A and B are shown apart, each in its own frame.
Chain A
Amino acid sequence: MKCQKCGKLATFHITELTNSKPVEHHLCEEHARDYLSNSSGSPEPVGNLAAMLSKGSPKPVSVGKAADELKELDQQTCPVCGMSFYEFRQTGRLGCPNDYDYFPKQLEALILNIHGETQHIGKVPKRAQKGTNRKTLLIKLRRDLEDAVLYEDYERAAVLRDKIKEMETECQI
């Protein structure tokens, strides 16, 4: 994606939320700096993830979000694995496959930065994929079971255990 101001590669993707409708800006590093220094909110340092993901990379990688939005975003937690976006920004590693769908916009911008593309066109597994999404649900059920045991809610734990067993047989894990 190109910078709206100069046509260089856009490495910052900023969503402005101050107006009633969110406005998106796609900018190169130089123009993003200009933009952020002129806007009221101070930019959140995106250094951690950027530094890590760009280690050995020729171009800097960043999530490029304005401070407020980033703060709000950081607190969002994937319902399947419990990973928060903040945690991802700190470690650079996701918690489960569902994260890719749960943080779609943020990850799409990041993936575009890293790869310059957002659509896989390579190899596709031959095996039928129909069970894969159901299997992602198993991740959540197992986590719920751990919680139920931790809080000594044995009635719920029993129900969850049966459900997990049923799904495991169905998916042949």
Chain B
Amino acid sequence: MFTGGCEWLRSEGDDNDIVISSRIRLARNVAGFPFQTRASEQDRKAVCAAVAAAAAEVFDKKKYCCAAVDAFDELERAYLVERQLISRELSQSPGTRSALIDKKEQFCVMVNEEDHLRLCAMTGGFAPYKVWKRINDIDNKLESKLDYVFHRKYGYLTACPTNTGTGMRVSVMLHLPALVISKEIDKVFRSLQKVNLAVRGLYGEGTQPAGDFFQISNQQTLGKTEEELLEKISTMVPQIVNYERQAREYLLKERKEFLFDRCGRAEGLLKTARTIGTAETMHHLSSIRLGVNMKILDGIPLTVVNELFLNTQPAHLQKIQGKELTSSERDVVRADYIRRALSEV
């Protein structure tokens, strides 16, 4: 199971106080097979086999794992979802499907998700072009062995017309607590919507924002080149980053007591709590992350805060404990884990 890697979490990369990670996914389908809604089990198996065979030829076998999703138990699947290596849809949908995961967690390929292939690459901080180089290279390698469905007019055809064309979704995960506190976040959303960029929660489509994390991604996938789509995100994200920085400066200047109180209370609460749920944890960790980045709180490294966000998620906690836990047991274990992590720094 993947325990190291998770490059996107290491708080490296440009603007890492605000930009958590940059991800790109490409949707591809293999010629000769129907899309998922019409695929038989035989079709699904054949697609999985074709992708596995292509991957074995083009990737270094020592550097990735390829497995059927059903080979993982429910807890392991939830763990992979929390690490953003597979989607909830791939984890929960029926039928033969597989995942190919880079051991360094720099890329993954989901087979038989909404499309036959969903290639994803990710890195920490703001680096969409670096991720594009990585995913494009993976795409080229797989394409040298697989026949993708390609249409002269509509580009790479996908099961849902919302993804056709480049099949590319660039998403940047941002931590925007000051914009949430100062209630400016809605303005940001409205301006992003005007330029056709989508805002989603931590775990992508249909998820609620938690811990003041937001994913910004392109809606349009057709009629623009990959470079143009990258440029759009690359122009907009620094503007939001600046806006968040301004909001932080404003809070420091105009609402200093409130800000120090909020960060201090969050640290105090997490250092002493004996039982705590995921949502409350995310809320306070967000304040601690803000405090660390604004140098309000001393002595807590950003990597420790980032790791706490991940390791306090339900499946991660159970993995760390090595056993299944009920919700109330998890709350106790979570509080204990956080107390230890924060007292060790």
Q: A: which residues have CB within 8 A of B? A: 53, 55-58, 80-83, 87, 91-97, 100, 107, 110-111, 114-127, 129, 131-132, 135-136, 138-139, 142, 146, 171, 173
Partner of B31 from A56, A126, A131 at Cβ < 8 Å: A131
Task: Give 6 pairs: A residue, B residue, CB < 8 Å, sorted on A.
Answer: A97-B29, A97-B151, A107-B161, A118-B223, A131-B31, A139-B33
Task: Please give, as numbers and ranges, the residues of chain A lying within 8 Å of B157 by CB-CB distance.
Answer: 97, 100
Q: Are B161 and A94 neighbours in the complex by a CB distance under 8 Å?
A: yes
Known contacts A111-B161, A120-B222, A132-B150; 11 additional CB pairs below 8 A are A81-B35, A114-B162, A116-B220, A117-B222, A117-B223, A118-B222, A119-B153, A120-B164, A125-B148, A125-B156, A146-B40
B110 CB, min distance to chain A CBs, angstroms: 16
Q: What's the tally of chain B residues with a CB closer than 8 Å to chain A?
A: 55
Complex: A115 Cα to B229 Cα, angstroms? 12
Chain A contacts for B196, CB-based, 8 A:
58, 116
The reply on B184 being an interface residue by CB < 8 A is no
- Report the stretch among B139-147, B232-240, B244-252, B301-309 that lies at the interface: B139-147
Q: Is the CB of B159 within 8 A of A93?
A: yes
Q: How many A-B residue pairs have CB under 8 A?
A: 153
Given A81-B38, A125-B148, check contact A173 B226 (CB 8 Å): no
B165 contacts across to A, CB distance below 8 A: 115, 120, 122
> How far, in angstroms, from A81 to B36 measured CA to CA in the complex?
11
Interface SS, B side? loop
Contacts of A57 in B (CB 8 A): 198, 219
Q: Are B147 and A110 in contact (CB under 8 A)?
A: no
